[in-house]
Structure 1
């Protein structure tokens, strides 16, 4: 099994990607979605879960749950990677967000960009697929609006970013929702 990952700027794009992966018969047990959590996200989780239960589509989305990622804040998620991160949040798994991504098979250089994208409000979708389905799953994520990871890395680097740092809460803004990063509006 290989891990195919996409970072999305909106939850709607990510939700469409999950639904398209399910239509492509990638088992829900092999798909994960992780999105920033707040009051809106909690309502989205409930709404998506209710909509999926009533509409019969998006089975994975029906299982969204809330948790916190140390150093970043609240998230909602479902699937195997979300379960791993819940373990990280509870202190039961070592390695944090970067370790969870790289342990899942995400290239370390890309894992930094995905983690930073999540810190900045992006939604992550991952799928574990066999080698024969890697290209199809990657195409689905791309067609659903995932960001070009190389372009996003370049964009971050223009602000002085050199990699994701699992900063302690003391280095976050007063609301604890994002890191204080040099060169970015606070």
Structure 2
């Protein structure tokens, strides 16, 4: 079965948390939700933990905890990535694996390449890359039906997310 993905941009961490929590409440799996945002040195707006399943060197330390952003602790594979030439990011979900190779290989344009590899058209990937580098939060949800796509879009719209798009994935995660 071919998977699709629905993407949006959240402008604030609290907005992203509302979206992720709504997706969880709607029954979406933590394996199907991805979040990507810049890691602001010295702050930890979201609780996260060290990801021990990433290739050596891709994940850096972190702290698990409660409080603001604890909802992201529910997501799979949350951790920090340092993408050479791009900077430090916090990633969770399938996007973590897609960007992990860029962090290890030192690929230029690592975010764009990872997003294109997840099925996002290159032009949109470049737009998302620019928005994430400027402090916004990219959220994506892998879906298997048109009904799920509709539910995700409604959740994004209710939360006033921006740049809501959907696409068929050429390389669906397993």
TM-score scaled by length of structure 1: 0.67
Counterpart contact for 1:45–1:64, Cα < 8 Å: no
Structure 1: stretches of 5+ with no match in the other structure? 151-186
How many Å separate the matches in 1 of 2:96 and 2:156?
18
Matched, 1:138 2:149: no
Q: Give yes or no for the alignment of 1:15 onto 2:30.
A: no
RMSD of aligned C-alpha atoms?
Answer: 2.9
Tell me, what secondary structure is at the counterpart of 1:84? helix
* TM-score normalised per structure 2: 0.71
Post-superposition offset of 1:126: 0.7
Alpha-carbon distance, 1:36 to partner: 0.9
Deviations 1:131-158 (A, max 9, x none): 22112112212222311369xxxxxxxx
Q: Note the 1:14-163 alignment, pairs <5 A.
A: 14-39=16-41, 41-42=43-44, 44-46=46-48, 49-51=64-66, 59-61=73-75, 64-91=78-105, 96-132=110-146, 133-148=148-163
Task: Determine the C-alpha separation between the residues in 1 that align with 2:98 and 2:76.
Answer: 18
Higher relative contact order (CA 8 A, sep 6+): 2
Give the deviation of 1:28 after TM superposition. Answer: 0.5
Q: Secondary structure at the match of 1:28?
A: coil
Partner secondary structure for residue 82 of structure 2 = strand
Higher strand fraction (1 or 2): 2
Q: Is 1:2 paired with 2:16?
A: no
Gaps of 5+ in 2: 50-62, 166-174
Cα distance in 2 between the residues matched to 1:90 and 1:35: 18
Corresponding pairs, count: 147
Contact map agreement 2:98 2:118 (CA 8 A) in 1: no
Determine the C-alpha separation between the residues in 2 that align with 1:144 and 1:35: 17
